[in-house]
Structure 1
Amino acid sequence: MTYVEYQIYMEAYQIKQIKQQEQLAMQAWLNQGVQATTGSSKNPKPKFKKFTQFFDAQKEIKKVRAEFEECNVSYQEPQLSRNQIIAKRYEEYQKIKERRKLNARNV
């Protein structure tokens, strides 16, 4: 198994764990709907009105995916256009090519 395959398996496993946590959290949320209340005993109100206030699965999945993203790119960074990506890669290629020429001369 290559390192990339291992990383994919680890990401999938952690997302699977979040789904299991979500199921457990749903059960706990349903239980708290009966037990956890705020306000007086005459006018009880549920502590969490929405399930996402109790457990936000999408937020947890984004955290896991951010860990496994190449170069740990932030979701808030603007996306580069295709031409910008190609230009950036070409510049990197030229730098590598130049380093190889220098190394070949020094040998």
Structure 2
Amino acid sequence: MSRLGFHSIRDIETMTLREYYLRLEAYQLHEIDVQEKIALQAFYNQSVQETAGKKHPRPKYRKFKQFFDREEQELAVRNVFADDTMGISEKAKRHTQTELFMRRTQEFKKLRKQGKIDMSAWKRAGINAGGD
């Protein structure tokens, strides 16, 4: 509880649940600040040492945001504590869409293997539709 700013048991007893969640959110946002500082130091270290490409070496990450996306981290924390959805980032949307596509592809392959999908049905439908 000391990480949330409590030093007295009396403070904890008089705190509302809403205040607890507000303090918890503030603490997690503070942790993002700490992580960002650590990531920035690591980014500087890797930009000096790590390269991609054998013939023409270049830094693996050209921008710090590619290495550590603060907005993405904050959005994840705020979505947990928000009363309503604040929206998801473009990166999260792409990730969700990719997962959905992969699930649908796996389901399609499974149904085709079970014989529940006729791969030539569209040909027959096209012939019948053209003949009408």
TM norm. shorter chain > 0.5? yes
Q: TM-score, normalised by structure 2?
A: 0.53
| RMSD over aligned Cα atoms | 1.3
Return the offset for 1:74. Answer: 4.8
Q: Which protein is bigger by CA-based radius of gyration?
A: 2
Equivalences, count: 74
Q: Provide the rounded CA distance (Å) in 1 between the counterparts of 2:46 and 2:32.
A: 20
Other-structure match for 1:21: 35
1:3 equivalent in structure 2: 17
Give, as a single letter, the amino acid of the residue that structure 2 aligns with 1:30.
Answer: Y
State the 4+ residue runs in structure 1 displaced beyond 2 angstroms: none
**TM-score normalised by the chain length of structure 1:** 0.65
Gaps of 5+ in 2: 1-14, 89-132
Task: Give the aligned partner of residue 53 of structure 1.
Answer: 66
Residue 75 (structure 1) aligns with: 87
With a CA cutoff of 8 Å and minimum separation of 6, indicate the structure with the bigger relative contact order. 1
**One-letter code aligned to 2:17:** Y
Paired with 1:74 and 1:16, the residues of 2 have a C-alpha distance of: 19
Sequence identity (%)? 45
Partner of 1:39: 53
Amino acid at match of 1:27: Q
